[in-house]
Structure 1
Amino acid sequence: MPDPRFFPSGPALPLSEVARRLGVAPVRDPAALICGVAALGSAGPQEITYLEQARHLPDLASCAAGACLVSPALRARAAAQVGPQGPQLLVVADPKAAFMALTAVLHPEPRIPAGRDASALVAASARIDPTASIGPGAVLGAEVTVGARSVIGAHAVLGPGVQIGADCHVHPHATVSHAVLGDRVTLHSHATIGRAGFGFHPGAAGLTRVAQLGRVILHDDVEIGAQSCVDRGTLGDTVIGRGTKIDNLVQIGHNCQIGAQCVIVAQCGLAGSVVLEDGVLLGGQVGVADHRTIGRGARIAAKSGVTRDVPAQETQSGIPARPITLFFRAVARDLRLGRAGKP
């Protein structure tokens, strides 16, 4: 069960109401109360859990949950595992999605009260919606805009002119400059948005910094992980499309154009002017060379190095990255050579 100190429960729901919300058939004990969610192996009589994979079916025999969400494909096998006193089975098309929806009801995120902490430093020209929350020690520069119900955490810094949309959450110690954020954008602690890109021009006197005169545009529902950095563009903008999720410790170089619904896992690095089309997935520690384009829906395996453009829908792996079938052929060849070379 989630620790109530950190994840307080909402009102308990009778199973009849749970079934109604999910649009499923009535259950055998509609008055039974559900107070929270839990994993399959640890759920108690007043908690709901879910079964997503057939390999977990044996766990149902000892499951003490009040109810369990299962898919139509696993319904009959799940019913064979639970006894008459076992968890009540609720059949839904997507158990995990239904579980997530119930989690939001049974363990709602606490609403941070609106208002401005007395220690926050807010420029007189900043425009703060009255329903927004400004935390202790936050710094908001001239002409900053903060939308309705947005939260600016303790010691976060918003540089002059930054625009924050509605229902955003800028966590403590995040820094934002030269940026425009849409609605429902989340920046985790120590994320840095809008710093000058890494651009220098060599000359007789050494390296001279190239002026970085662009912005960062974060569209609706973007999430940026802790200690990740998104550099602003040199002349154009660095853009991250709607619904894209970026993990912790990721570097996005200047002028990158990242499409909608992309996933970028921890410790990836994108050099300048990289293009990710919609729905791209980068595994952990992927590096992408400058000016490369990764096509729509492509997937790059962890620790790969992308040095050429990647076609849409292709899966690649390795250094340099290549189609996954070629990668595994190379691995098999190396293994054969290694065995052949043994005395």
Structure 2
Amino acid sequence: MINFSLEQITTLLSAKQLGNSSQQFTGLNHLEKATSDQISFIGSSKYAKLYNSSNAGAIVISENLAHLVSGEIPLLVVSNADLAMAKLLSLFEPDAPYIEADIHPLATVHHSATIGKDASIGAGCYIGANVVIGDEVVIYPNVTILDDSTIGTKTIIWPGTVIRERSQIGAYCILHNNVSIGADGFGYRPSEDGRGLIKIVHIGNVILGNGVEIGANSCVDRAKFDSTIVGDGCKIDNLVQIGHNCILGKCCIMAGHSGLAGSVTLGDGVIIGGSASIKDHTTIHSGAVIAAGSGVMGDVAAGKTMLGYPATESRDKLREWAAVRKLGRN
């Protein structure tokens, strides 16, 4: 069992320790559920009221909130409790499911594929022609990687993921369960006789940069021509759609149920909230934030926060909503 003393955790977090305990800590939990061998967190003032009723053995708290609590539970005061929580979650993370650094006998690997040193390929996987698997890649059971694709060093691919032909996956990526990379983009045109639809063939590919993480059941479609690109460090939630020919800059975030129509461009550090929708051929410049549930119909300037459906700058939208509420009272 993983366990650490309060002093060890204090050192790891470079925290200021208020109070002592001889307890060995075995994990983390919510304030209202934590037991004496678990650590909890206060990163917002709304949780400070739970301090006195908590059974946690110690609490990590942001320094700007420490004055709001007092009592017997030891405090570890840090500049940012959320970042401290991220450190501790890594410390207490259980080992990943074991898979041997080898090719499982029930995997199918084409003779032309190149498999890197200490790579692991689980049962039921299919690795196609001319695929290149980097060193220390972990491919869990029932993953399909089709012809001419490349997988970078130390990337982890969880069960059910399908990586279509010609895709390029960077190093240190994580693809969670049932991710789809490189399926056809969605493109149709009315037929000349007006009686049907003509499918637009997509002959491009998908390129994921280094350190990209894509959540379960999310889709990144291949380009009509050229490449759909997800830049280094992007983090994509579950159930996200990225359409053909989209280009994401570095370290963008997309929350669950959000979607980009075709040929959307995101600058660096763009944040897309849950269930937000972005119109095709739109550019959202670096540092912009699209609030949850918003519908973006046009380009967004750098650093702007957009809100509503259709989305407008957040301050304007909030004023609009306030005016509507006043009308309702008259």
State TM-score, norm by structure 1.
Answer: 0.87
Decide whether the 8 Å contact of 2:107 with 2:124 is kept in 1.
yes
- Relative to structure 1, is the Cα distance of residues 151 and 326 closer, same or farther in structure 2, using a 3 angstrom cutoff? same
Which of 75, 82, 100 is matched with 2:71 structurally? 82
Give the structure 1 partner of residue 92 of structure 2: 106
> 1:63-74, aligned counterparts within 5 Å?
63-74=54-65
The answer for unaligned runs of 5 or more in structure 1 is 1-8
Instruction: Give the structure 2 partner of residue 249 of structure 1.
Output: 239
Match of 1:173 in 2: 160
Check if 1:120 corresponds to 2:110: no
1:225 pairs with one of 211, 215, 218: 215
Q: CA deviation at 1:94?
A: 1.5
> For 2:250, what is the secondary structure of its paired residue?
coil
> Structure 1 residues 182 and 58 mapped into 2: Cα distance closer, same or farther (>3 Å)?
same
SS at match of 1:328: helix
Name the TM-score, length of structure 2 as normaliser. Answer: 0.90
The Cα of 1:150 is off from its aligned counterpart by 2.1
- 1:190 maps to which residue? 178
Report the RMSD for the aligned CA atoms in angstroms.
Answer: 2.2
Task: Within 5 Å, give how 1:21-32 maps onto structure 2.
Answer: 21-25=12-16, 29=20, 31-32=22-23
Task: Name the counterpart of 1:53.
Answer: 44
2:41 corresponds to which letter in structure 1?
Y
Name the aligned partner's letter for residue 305 of structure 2: T
Report SS of the residue matched to 1:213: coil
Out of 240, 255, 260, the position equivalent to 2:250 is: 260
Alpha-carbon distance in 2 for matches of 1:262, 1:57: 31
Deviations 1:258-311 (A, max 9, x none): 111211122222121111111112222222221110111112222222211111
- CA change 1:89–1:282 in 2 (3 A) is same
Inter-partner Cα distance in structure 2 for 1:133 and 1:304: 41
> Could you tell me which residue of structure 1 aligns to residue 286 of structure 2?
296
Measured against aligned partners, the alpha-carbon deviations of 1:82-104 in whole angstroms (never above 9, x if no partner) come to 13xxx221121122211221221
Q: Partners in 1 of 2:150 and 2:81 — Cα distance?
A: 38
Deviations along 1:185-216, whole A, 9 cap, x unmatched? 12222211011222334443654333322211
Structure 2 gaps, min length 5: none
**In the alignment, which residue of structure 1 is the partner of 2:205?**
215
Corresponding residue number in structure 2 for 1:6: none
1:199 aligned to 2:187? yes
